[in-house]
Every structure is written in structure tokens, then in C-alpha cells.
Structure 1
Amino acid sequence: MTVVHSSTKSDRLPPGPGIPHALQGLGFSFARKWTIRQATRRCGEVFTLSLPVFGESVIVADPVLAKQVFMANPDEVGNISPNLSRVLGPGSVFALDGTDHRLRRKLLTPPLHGKSIKNYERIFEEETLREIQTWPEGSPFETLEPMMRITLNVILRAVFGADGAHLDELRRSIPPWVTLGSRLAVLPMPSHTYGRFTPWGRLAAYRTTYDEIIGRLIDAVAADPDLDSRDDVLSLLLRSTYDDGSSMSREDVGDELLTLLAAGHETTAATLGWAFERLSRHPEVLDRLAAEVDSDDNTYRQAAILEVQRTRTIIDFAGRHVYAPSFELGDWVIPHGYSILVAIAQMHRRDEDFPEPLRFDPERFVGQRPSTFAHIPYGGGTRRCVGATFANVEMDVVLRTVLRHFTIEPTTEPAEKQHFRGVAHTPKLGGRIVVHRRQAN
């Protein structure tokens, strides 16, 4: 692979691989992590690629440059397009930029942090206990789908405030919609859906069903005489107002609830699936977790979660778009209209920040943290995942609950390969493990 450098004077673009643009696009579409690794090896930690959908792009795998991208003025380097708002709706935080984005995040932050999270821990544990009741002992089974059910039910209860018929309706309608939407999110969007027999037509039908259900749910919650004492996110959003006293529209509330589900359901479940896959292949880590689990300490468990996120990065890039006439990125000048993609998975493999990066070792996160922009599973800057704290506590409680009730049998099976589901990278075999129920003391 030869390396091609830009020859323009006004713009100073990083080098790029000297292969046809069509091959660059194919590599990114079908073997993204491998393509980024190869290009990084040959071109360095910042390079150009020509990509489908995103167009001419600069790929960044350097934490210093990533910080510059994430901390840039959003009027100059803002929301990438296309993004998940095509699936989630124009009221989604993914669709907003600048002041509108900042105000929406300010509204969303309280329900997903601090005291609110403590209120949700009971839901995290209840849903885990409900799911693990039927786990088989002594024979392999997949953990990914059980984790999908746990995280879906958690969000429907904690975020949507759904119960009874509403919970059942959303549980049936949302999973196929999210699965389809994640696969279509980064594909070119047709001008027409061409009916329910096409993927985009089915997506539109799912949305219609969702809007009907969520409309009834909003009406029911708004009419609840105990609305002021409810702690689900929907109730908090209905009670919240912007600085000028205005509140979110019903349409925006529906889009935002769906955003929180789409951003937190599959990604959290995928991370937990990988956690079981990784832990079952590292008995020394399992032993330390088992020794810790009956105490109130979660230092090592938190370190293990961070290491899973590093070694099996679920969302492998975060994107921005250059809206200014040009943007200075280190020694380079990126022209208007370019996309900038921060290669999160590649940054998590840097020797400088993570010695022996292919080794799974939670100890590297015990009592120490890498620089802020070296480990970024939730992205960074003003568009960092607003539900990061929610997801982190949920994963901690789920792992704690499982380990308090089961021992996980170590395995010498090869590591599971990664499977790309459209947005998240999941264990190809579903994170298979063998468990045995712990004996009560």
C-alpha cells in the first residue's frame, strides 16, 4: 500500500493510502477495524480516506488530536451527517447542534446522573434476577440475548416508566425496529420508502406503531396524580423546563426516549456479552472478581468493565463535520465539508497508553486512569454519551448480581470473533459461557 500526500497549498491534508477510493470504501464498510489498523500502520495516526456516505474524511487515532476535535467550537466542527437522527427523529439529541444541543443535554443530564441513578439500581438488580432464574447449569449458552432482554427491560422501566400493557407493547415492537434501524443508519437514505416490503418502509411502520404507543404512555404519565414523585426519565422530562420556561414537545420527548433506548440498549448489552466472553477466558480475573463480589467494594469490577470497553470497543468511531471554511488539526488544515472520524478502537490499542495492548488486564485501571482522551468508549467533548453514567452503573450491578449467584466456568476456547451489527460490535457466538449456581452459605 503506497501513501499519497496532499499537494494543495491552502489546505494541508494528512496522507492517505494509495489505493482506489472504491477499495477504501469497501474496506471501511466491510472490515472497518482491520482497514483502520492497516492504514494507521502505513500512514500514521492521522490520515485521509474517501468513504461512502461520509465522503472525504480524515481519520484520527491520536488522543491529542482527538481532544482538539472533541473540544472544537461546535459552530466550526459540529455534528456529523448522516447520523442516527435519520432513524430516531428530528427531536433526538443526535439531530441537534450548537445551542439547541447544549440546552437539550442540560435538560437530559439530571435524570441520568447522581441521585436518579441510585433510584434505578433496584431496577437493574430486579431485571437481572428475573433473567438469570432460567439460566442452565453446566452447559454452554449465549449471554448476549439475555443481556439484550435485561437492558431493554431496564430502559423501558427506568426511562420510559412503562409497565403493564405499555411495557409489553414496547417490548414487542422496539427490538426489531432498533435492530433494523442500526443496520440502515449509515446507508444512503432513499427519497421514498417504497412500501412495507422494503427495509425503509418497515422502519417507517415501526415508527408509526411506536408513536401510537408512546402517545398513550405520555398521556397516562402526564395524568398520573403522583407525577411529581415519579423518578422515571419520562416523568422527569415532562416536569422539566428550559431556562426560558418552555418545555419539550411531545414529539421531541418521544424522539428523545427512543434515542436513550437506542443508544443504551444494544451497546450496554454488547459490552456485557463481551464481559462474560472475556472473563471466562481469564480465570485469574474471575477469581479476583469472585473474591470482591460479596463486599461493598467494586474497584476491581469497575476496572474489568473499563478493560472490556478498551479491548472490545463496541462503537469504534465518533464523527464530526467541518462547517468552518477550514479547521486546523495539529499540523494539518482540513477544508470545509470534510468529515473527521476519531478511531476509538484504534486509540484503545496504542502502546504509548496501554502497554501490551492486546493483553486483557484490568489491573491497568486499578488506582490509575489513562489520559481523558486515550480511553473514550463513550466518545468525548460536548457530544459524549449523556447516558454514560447510567450504562456504567447498570453494567456494574448486572455483573455483581450474576457473580453473586453463579460461578463462571473458565474455558480454553479461542476468543470469539467480532460481529458488526450495523452500529455495535458484538461477540460472534453470543458471548457463550458455562455457569454453576453458587451454594448458599
Structure 2
Amino acid sequence: MSETAATEHPVSESAGAHLPPVTRVPKLLQGVVYVLARRQMIDRLTRRHGAAFVANIPMFGKTVILTDPALAKQVFATNPEELGNVQPNLSRVFGPGSVFALDGDDHRRRRKLLTPPFHGKAMKNYEKIVEEETRREMASWPDGRPFETLEPMMRITLNIILRAIFGADGAELDRLREVIPPWVTLGSRLVVFPEPARDLGPLDPWRRLHDYRRTYESVIDTLITQARADEHFDERTDVLSLFLRSAYEDGSAMTPSEIGDELLTLLAAGHETTASTLAWAFERISRHPAVLAELVAEAQTDGNEYRQATILEVQRARTVIDFCGRHVWAPMVQIGQWRIPRGYSVLVSINQLHANTGEFPDPQRFDPTRFVGKRPNMFAWAPFGGGTRRCVGAAFANMEMDVVLRTVLRHFDVETTTARDEKVHSRGVAFTPKDGGRVAMRRRPTPLGS
């Protein structure tokens, strides 16, 4: 995209509006570039305009894109009645009962129901599951030969979330293990495209997506019936049972359809992003011997300060989800010097926040010490989004990554490499290592700390 194709000055499109510079490239071309190379597009426009600019992109239409932490803070703090859920959103894949579909009071009430299973004492119950699933997957890893870590991480995180949600194993969960991975892969690719108005025939990928959905709904119906019939239902601590027993403040409960949509959100969104971050973690530490040595030394203890700092730095340096979005519902919203009219979308570029030199000096350097003994600025470090729509499973994902890394480092010696950094690969929504986070490991004769 030509850097000379955008205006030098803000323009106004309605009375009282004051917009950032507007990209003047034809809408169709903007759309093609956004779908095929959105990070490169945003990088170039950020170099050209800095903190804010306007683009006209697929599905979201006229969109103000923000790249500065101070502006992100305003977006995250703005009343959701004024700056609400982006339109369209991921509910087109997860369903109308998903938290991604909700706004305002409905969103607040749903988050209140979703929060307890993923915070506090409940987290300790899941740590054993994470270690068990990691050790089960590690049993088949090659010794001393390079392999891609992304797919094993996908299996680990999917099995973890399945056990956390349903509390047990069985034929139904085996069916979900078959249907969820291809569904997530296909859904991630299709979500950046508008759904066609009509069926395109036997090869229509949207038809295949809906077929996966029908299979999923059949399995969930069976699992709900089984849970309710369990004589120990009132004592069960799995997420499905907690949802079935939960109630809103007015005493009403989530419908089976809403529960199905919400569980699908947790299954899909909850495992792909965490697995992708873990694959990036192995890609990063295998290329930074000093970081790896510090992690190995810590893995022999009960500490995790440096491991936590490393996870934060991986999430910053290799951003998996690069945008969080809002929709302007108020007649006008003020963000910084800009006045944005109703109907516009507002996207915060998480990738650009993470490259902000004011917050992260020399941002291209991989340096976990940025976060040792320090909490990140949640308006500059935002892999889970921000504000009222920040990912409800953030603490769970952090715990998963911590335990998986600790378990692997205790049982395997990760070999370092001088190979070039893996390129970033777009899966549609998530960005993963192009070669799958390829590393070589050697099994330790005696696990660390044993």
C-alpha cells in the first residue's frame, strides 16, 4: 500500500466529528490488503500517521485504528453504553449465547457468572490437570530430534479445557477432540470474511463450519443430560455443572443453548491462543540461551517469578491476537483529540501497543527482565484485551502456560539453536510460528527438583 495514498490532515464526515487521517486507497484494495497482510498494513500506516488513523476494512467498515497506550486507556475506560461491543463480532462463529455476542447489562451479568470458575481457589484444582495432560503428551515426544511444538500444545490445552469444563473423560469428549480442532482452524480462517448470503454448494466452507456446529450441539446436549442425571451433580466442580447450577441476580438461569455457546467459546478461544503462545515460548527460549538457563535454574525450585516474566514477554514480543475492537453507539465519542461519530468501529492495535518504544525500550529485543518484579501497564500490555471486555479466562491461561513450561523444563533439556527467528503465520484470528515452534529436546534422566 502506497504511503502517499493517505491524507496528511484529519477530516470530518459529520457535524462535530474530528477524525484522524483517512486512508484514501480504494475500499476494495484496503480490504484485500487487510485480509492478506493486515499486520504489514497497520505497521506501514502507523509509521505514516502514528497514534491514530482511519481505514475502511472488511466487515467493520469505517474504522479508527489506535496504536498508542494513552488512547487505548481511554477506549478501555469508556462507558460500554457509548463504546460497546464491536460489530460484527465472534458471536457469528460462537453463537448468539456467547459472551462475545453480549453488550451492556447482559454482558455484565454473564461475566459475573463466568468469573468464579476461573479465579481464586478454583485455579488450584486445575493445576494438577495441567501437569497430568502435559506429562501425558510428553510421553510421545522424540528425543533429540526437532519437532513442531504447536500441535502438541494444541492437544495439551484442548485436553485441559475439556477436563476443566466437563470433569471427566468418555466417548463424548473423544468426539469433541475430533471436531474442535478442525472447527477452530476453519473458523479462524473464515471469521475475517463475511458469510455469503446463500449456500455455495457441497464445497462451501461455511456449510462445513455449520456441520461441525451441529455435531458439537449434539454432544453437548448429551453431556448436559448426563450431568443433570448424575447423583453427585450438586458436588461436581466442573465448569458445565457450575453453569447448570448458576443463576443471575434475578434468579433466572442460562438456557441450554446459551451454555452450549459459552462452552464452545471457552473450548475454542481458550485453547488456540494459549497453545499458540506456548509454541512461541519454545521458539523464543530456544534462541535465547541466557533466558533458558535462568528458566531451568528456577524450575528446580518452587519459584516462578522469572517464568512469569518470560510468559509476559512472550505475549508482548509475539502477539497472538493483534486487535480488540469496539463500536461507537453514542452520537459522538471523544478519544484523545479525536471526535468519532456513531457507526464507526474503533480497533486498538495490540501488536502496536506491544511495540511502543516509550513503554518498551528496544521493543524488538526479547527481554523477560522487563517484567521481573514489575506489573505490566495494562494499557500498553494487552494480550487479553482490556476494560470490561478483557478475557475472562486470562488468569486460567496464565496458570496453564506457567505449569506447562515448568513441567516441560523439569523433564526435558531444550536445545538452543542459532536458526533464524520463525516468521509470523496468520491463522486468520491467531498468529503462530510459521514453522510451528520447532525445537529439539532431550529427556532428562532424572527430572529437575525430584
User: Do both proteins adopt the same fold according to a TM-score greater than 0.5, normalized to the shorter chain?
Assistant: yes
Match of 2:198 among 192, 197, 203: 192
Match of 2:227 among 198, 221, 228: 221
Q: Does 1:377 align with 2:383?
A: yes
1:232 deviation in Å?
A: 1.1
Higher mean alpha-carbon deviation, 155-164 vs 274-283, is at 155-164
Secondary structure of the residue that 1:48 maps to in structure 2?
Answer: strand
C-alpha contact (below 8 Å) 1:196/1:205 kept by paired residues: no
Q: Which amino acid aligns with 1:6?
A: P
Q: Does 1:258 align with 2:264?
A: yes
C-alpha contact (below 8 Å) 2:11/2:20 kept by paired residues: no
Match of 1:211 among 194, 214, 217: 217
1:277 aligns to what? 283
C-alpha contact (below 8 Å) 1:321/1:340 kept by paired residues: yes
1:29 deviation in Å?
A: 1.5
- Superposition RMSD in Å: 1.2
For each residue in 1:166-204, what CA deviation from the matched residue of structure 2 results, as whole angstroms up to 9, or x when unmatched?
111111111111111111112111233345531111111
2:349 & 2:168 partners in 1: Cα distance? 36
* TM-score (normalizing by structure 1): 0.98
Secondary structure of the residue that 2:346 maps to in structure 1?
Answer: strand
Structure 1 gap ranges (5+): none
For each residue in 1:111-138, what CA deviation from the matched residue of structure 2 results, as whole angstroms up to 9, or x when unmatched?
1111111101111000000000011111
2:132 aligns to what? 126
Q: Does 1:302 align with 2:302?
A: no
C-alpha contact (below 8 Å) 1:143/1:430 kept by paired residues: yes
C-alpha contact (below 8 Å) 1:353/1:370 kept by paired residues: no
Q: Which amino acid aligns with 2:67?
A: A
2:197 & 2:80 partners in 1: Cα distance? 29
For each residue in 1:36-65, what CA deviation from the matched residue of structure 2 results, as whole angstroms up to 9, or x when unmatched?
111111111111111111110000111111
1:214 deviation in Å?
A: 0.4
Percent identity reads: 63
Secondary structure of the residue that 2:186 maps to in structure 1?
Answer: helix
C-alpha contact (below 8 Å) 2:180/2:268 kept by paired residues: no
- Once the two structures are superposed, the pairs formed by residues 129-144 of structure 1 within 5 Å of their partners are 129-144=135-150
2:229 & 2:160 partners in 1: Cα distance? 23
Q: Does 1:439 align with 2:432?
A: no
- Once the two structures are superposed, the pairs formed by residues 7-86 of structure 1 within 5 Å of their partners are 7-8=11-12, 10-86=16-92
For each residue in 1:17-45, what CA deviation from the matched residue of structure 2 results, as whole angstroms up to 9, or x when unmatched?
44333333222221111111111111111
2:398 aligns to what? 392
C-alpha contact (below 8 Å) 1:160/1:233 kept by paired residues: yes
Secondary structure of the residue that 1:358 maps to in structure 2?
Answer: coil
Secondary structure of the residue that 1:360 maps to in structure 2?
Answer: coil
1:7 & 1:338 partners in 2: Cα distance? 14
1:366 aligns to what? 372
Secondary structure of the residue that 2:356 maps to in structure 1?
Answer: coil
2:149 & 2:281 partners in 1: Cα distance? 10
Secondary structure of the residue that 2:166 maps to in structure 1?
Answer: coil
C-alpha contact (below 8 Å) 1:17/1:43 kept by paired residues: no
2:197 & 2:250 partners in 1: Cα distance? 37
For each residue in 1:394-439, what CA deviation from the matched residue of structure 2 results, as whole angstroms up to 9, or x when unmatched?
0000000000000100000000001100110000000000101112
Match of 1:154 among 150, 160, 163: 160
Q: Which amino acid aligns with 1:280?
A: S
C-alpha contact (below 8 Å) 1:6/1:13 kept by paired residues: yes
Q: Does 1:328 align with 2:334?
A: yes
TM-aligned CA distance change 1:196 to 1:258, over 3 Å: farther
Q: Does 1:409 align with 2:415?
A: yes
C-alpha contact (below 8 Å) 1:119/1:231 kept by paired residues: no
1:83 deviation in Å?
A: 1.2
Match of 1:427 among 423, 433, 437: 433
1:231 deviation in Å?
A: 1.4
C-alpha contact (below 8 Å) 2:11/2:22 kept by paired residues: no
* TM-score (normalizing by structure 2): 0.96
2:378 & 2:273 partners in 1: Cα distance? 21
1:344 aligns to what? 350
1:161 deviation in Å?
A: 2.9
1:162 deviation in Å?
A: 4.4
Secondary structure of the residue that 1:328 maps to in structure 2?
Answer: strand
Q: Which amino acid aligns with 2:418?
A: T
Secondary structure of the residue that 1:49 maps to in structure 2?
Answer: strand
1:276 & 1:7 partners in 2: Cα distance? 46
C-alpha contact (below 8 Å) 2:19/2:340 kept by paired residues: yes
Match of 1:167 among 164, 173, 192: 173
